[in-house]
Structure 1
Amino acid sequence: MPFEEKFHLRIPGPTPVPPRVQHAMNRPMIGHRSAECSRLVRQCSQRLQPVFGTRENVLIITGSGTSALEAAVSNTVAPGEEVVVAVTGAFGDRFAKIAGRFGAQVHRLDIPWGEACSPDALKSFLASRPRVKAVFLTHCETSTGVLNPVQDLATIIKEHTDALVIVDGVSSVGGVACEMDAWGIDIFVTGSQKALMLPPGLAFVAVSPRAWGVIRQTEGPRFYLDLQTYHEDLERETTPFTPGIAHLFGLEAVLDMIEEEGLENIFARHRLMMEMTRAGVRALGLPLLTEDAVASPTVTAVRGTENIDASALQKELRRIGAVVASGQQHLKGKIFRIGHMGYCDPLDVLTLLSALETALHRLGGTVRWGAAVGAAEEVWNRV
C-alpha cells in the first residue's frame, strides 16, 4: 500500500493525538522536582476537575488505565471482603478479575454483552448481599459500545447499601458528561489515550471524601499505587514517583483544547459522531450490537452479516487504510468496533463510512454508493 505511514486510526483507543499535543510533548525535558513540574502537576490536577465533574483533586498516575482500575481495588478492598461487579463486557470482567486477584469475594452481576446494566437488575442483585463494601461499574463498556446509566445505578447503590461506588470511566471521561459529585460516585478513574487525546501512559483517579475514609482504614499490600501517597504528595504539588513529564506537557495542551471548545460542545460533538456513525452503518444494512438507548457516544460496535463476517470487513478496511478494532473474547470475529472520540470530528466519520462502503463492496456485499455517507450527512445537517 502506498503511504504506509498514512492511515485513519478509528479504534477506541489509543486514539489520534493532535499535532498541537505532539508538539507540546516535544518540549525539552525538565526536572521532575522542579518548580515548573510542580506547576504542571498542580494545574493539571485542578483543570481536570470539571472533566470529572468534581471539586476533588484529580490524582495523576504514570501508568495505563488498568493501573487506575487496580488502584481503585487495592486501596479500598481487603482480602475476604465482599464486592459486586456489574459485568457488561470485557472491561467489567477485568474489574472482577482484579478484585479476585486481591482476594475479594466477588459477586458478578453478568449482563448479556451489548446490553446495559439496569437499575432494577442491580437493585435485585444487591438485595441479597447486604455486606458488600464496594460496587464496581463500567461507564462506557469499550468492548461493546454500551453506555451504562451510572447515575441511576449509583442512586440505587446509595439507597440500598453503604457500599462505595467505583466507576471505570476510561472510555467516557472527556467525551461524555461525567458528574462525579452530583451522581454520588466515590472513585472515578480514566486513562490518557481515549477521549483525552494523549498517548497511553497516564491514569487519573478522582476520590470522594467518603472514599478517603475507607481507604485510610483498608489494609492490604500496595506501594506504587498507594493512593494516599499520591494524595499527600499532591498537597505538596508533586508526585511520589517520577511522572511522565512529556505526557504532562501534552496534558496541559489537551486541557487548553478542552477549555477552548467547551465541555458541552465536546459532548455534543461526540453525540453527533455517534448518531452519524449509527445512521451510516444502518444504511449499509449492517446490524449494530447495541440499541440506541444504551449506545455510547465514543465507540460503536457493528456486527457482520450472514455472508460477510466482521473480521473480513475489519481486514478489508485495514487494506484500504482505515483501522478499526476487532471484537473481544466471545465477540472476536463477530463484531468490529469504531472509535469516534477525542481528536475526531464529523469529517472523520464520513471518511470511515466511505471506506466501509468500499470494503463491503469489495467483499461482495450489495452497496448503493453514497448510502452510508448520505445518511450520516443528513444527521450532520440537522444540527
Structure 2
Amino acid sequence: MSDDRLRMTPGPTEVPVAVRERMSEPTPNPDVEPEFFEFYRDLTDKLGAVYGDDDVLILGGEGILGLEAAIASLVEPGDRVLCLSNGLYGDGFADFVEMYDGEAVVCDAPWQEPLDLDAIESQLEDGSFDAATMVHCETPTGVLNDLEPVLDLLDEHDVVSIVDAVSSLGGTPVPTDRIDICLGASQKCFSAPPGLTVCSVSDRAWSKIESFETAGLYTDLEPWRDAAEEEWFPYTHLSSNLYGLDAAIDLLLEEGLEAVFERHEEAAALCRERADDLGLSPYPDGARPSPTVTALEIPGRAIEIQERLAEEHDIVLATGLGDLEEDVLRVGHMGHNARVDRVERTMDALEAVLE
C-alpha cells in the first residue's frame, strides 16, 4: 500500500493533514480539567453553525450509536413508531425500535424509488404515532430523500421526527431546523476519523426524553443536555477524536457552507458524467441522487473491479451492501474527497479497468 492511496469510499473518508496533526496534540483530562469542558462547549457552538441549531451534542461512539441512542431515549415500551424506509438504514431503525419494545410500523418503498408520500400520509391518518424515523441519504444506494414534504406531514400530525443525516450533514443542505433529532457522524462529510456521533435535539424531543427513564446509560441522551455546563460527562469522552473533529469543522467553516455544498455538487456531477461516458448506469436510475455518493450498476463484477482498482491503481471504492454487493460499485465524493481532481483520477482508473 503506497502513501498516495486514494480512498474514495462513502465513509470513512480521507482525513486531511490538519485534522491528523491536531489529533496528535496533548489533550487535557476530559473528566477533571475545566479547559476541556470549555473546549467542548466551543466545539458544539461551531457545530451549531453547521446545524443552524444551538442545542447540539457530541457522543463518544460511531454514528450507529446515534441511531440507537435516539430510539433508546425517545421510545418507551409500547410506543408506536413509523419507520420510513427505502433502504438498508431505514430498515435498521425498525430493528432498534423493536429492540426497545416499541411497535415498529414500517412504511417502505423499493430501494430504487423515493419515499412514498401517499403511503406515509395514509399511515398517519389511519393511526397515531409517537415518533417517526427516516434516512436523508441512503448510502448503500446513493439516494437522497426529499425530507421537506415528509416533515410537513409529520408536523400536521404532531409526530416527533428522527433523521439519520450521517451521510449528508456537511455535504448538502439538511432542514435541521424542522427535525427533532438530527443525527450526524464524524467520519462522513466532516472528514474526521470514525468515533463520534453528533446530534441536535429540539425542545419537543427533550420534553419526551425527560418524560421517562431510559433503560441504559451509554444510549441515554438525557444526561448530555446540561453535561458541559455542569462540567460532568456520563463517561470519559474521546478527547483526541474531539480535537480532530474540531479541526475538521474549522476547515469546513473557513471554506463556507455554500462553497462546500457547491464543491460536492460539482464532484457528483463530474462522477456521473464520466460514468455515463463509460456506459454505466446509476443505481437506482432516475431517483434523486445524493451529491455525496454515487452508486453504479456493474452486474456481477463489482467486487472484481473493486479489487483491481486497489491492486492496479491504489484507489479504494466500496461495493454495494447486502444483495447489492456483487452488482453495485460506490464512489464516495464526500467531505475532503469531494474534489474534481480526485474524481477525475478515480474515473480514469475505472475506465482503464473496464477496458
TM over 0.5: yes
- Following superposition, the deviation at residue 245 of structure 1 comes to 0.5
Matched pairs, number = 352
2:60 matched residue in structure 1: 62
Name the CA distance, whole Å, in 1 between partners of 2:258 and 2:114.
Answer: 24
The answer as to 2:310 corresponding to 1:310 is: no
For structure 1, list consecutive stretches of 5 or more residues without a partner in the other structure.
Answer: 362-383
Instruction: Give the partner amino acid of 1:341.
Output: M
Q: Is the 8 A contact 1:82 1:107 kept in 2?
A: yes
What does 1:332-371 correspond to in 2, within 5 Å?
332-344=325-337, 345-361=339-355
Corresponding residue to 1:169 among 157, 165, 170? 165
What does 1:242-253 correspond to in 2, within 5 Å?
242-253=236-247
Instruction: Give the partner amino acid of 1:195.
Output: C
Name the CA distance, whole Å, in 2 between partners of 1:40 and 1:67.
Answer: 23
Name the CA distance, whole Å, in 1 between partners of 2:233 and 2:148.
Answer: 31
Q: Is the 8 A contact 1:299 1:338 kept in 2?
A: yes
Q: Is the 8 A contact 1:51 1:178 kept in 2?
A: no
Name the CA distance, whole Å, in 1 between partners of 2:296 and 2:124.
Answer: 32
- Following superposition, the deviation at residue 165 of structure 1 comes to 0.7
What does 1:1-383 correspond to in 2, within 5 Å?
3-32=1-30, 33-54=32-53, 56-128=54-126, 130-159=127-156, 161-181=157-177, 184-291=178-285, 294-305=288-299, 309-320=301-312, 321-344=314-337, 345-361=339-355
Q: Which moved more, 1:311-320 or 1:11-20?
A: 311-320
Name the CA distance, whole Å, in 1 between partners of 2:52 and 2:42.
Answer: 16
Name the CA distance, whole Å, in 1 between partners of 2:27 and 2:204.
Answer: 38
- Following superposition, the deviation at residue 237 of structure 1 comes to 4.8
For structure 2, list consecutive stretches of 5 or more residues without a partner in the other structure.
Answer: none
- Following superposition, the deviation at residue 92 of structure 1 comes to 0.9
- Computed over aligned residues only, the root mean square deviation of the Cα atoms, in angstroms, reads 1.5
Q: Which runs of 4+ in 1 moved over 3 A?
A: 3-6
Q: Is the 8 A contact 1:59 1:234 kept in 2?
A: no
Q: Give 3-state SS (helix, strand or coil) of 1:343's partner.
A: helix
Q: Give 3-state SS (helix, strand or coil) of 1:75's partner.
A: helix
C-alpha deviations, 1:117-159, integer Å up to 9, x for none? 143332123222x221111010101111010111221111111
- Following superposition, the deviation at residue 114 of structure 1 comes to 2.6
Q: Give 3-state SS (helix, strand or coil) of 1:337's partner.
A: strand
Name the CA distance, whole Å, in 1 between partners of 2:52 and 2:136.
Answer: 14
- Following superposition, the deviation at residue 319 of structure 1 comes to 1.7
TM-score calculated relative to the size of structure 2: 0.95
- Following superposition, the deviation at residue 167 of structure 1 comes to 0.2
Instruction: Give the partner amino acid of 2:320.
Output: G
Name the CA distance, whole Å, in 2 between partners of 1:342 and 1:297.
Answer: 11
Name the CA distance, whole Å, in 1 between partners of 2:42 and 2:68.
Answer: 25
C-alpha deviations, 1:256-296, integer Å up to 9, x for none? 11111000110111111111111111110011113455100
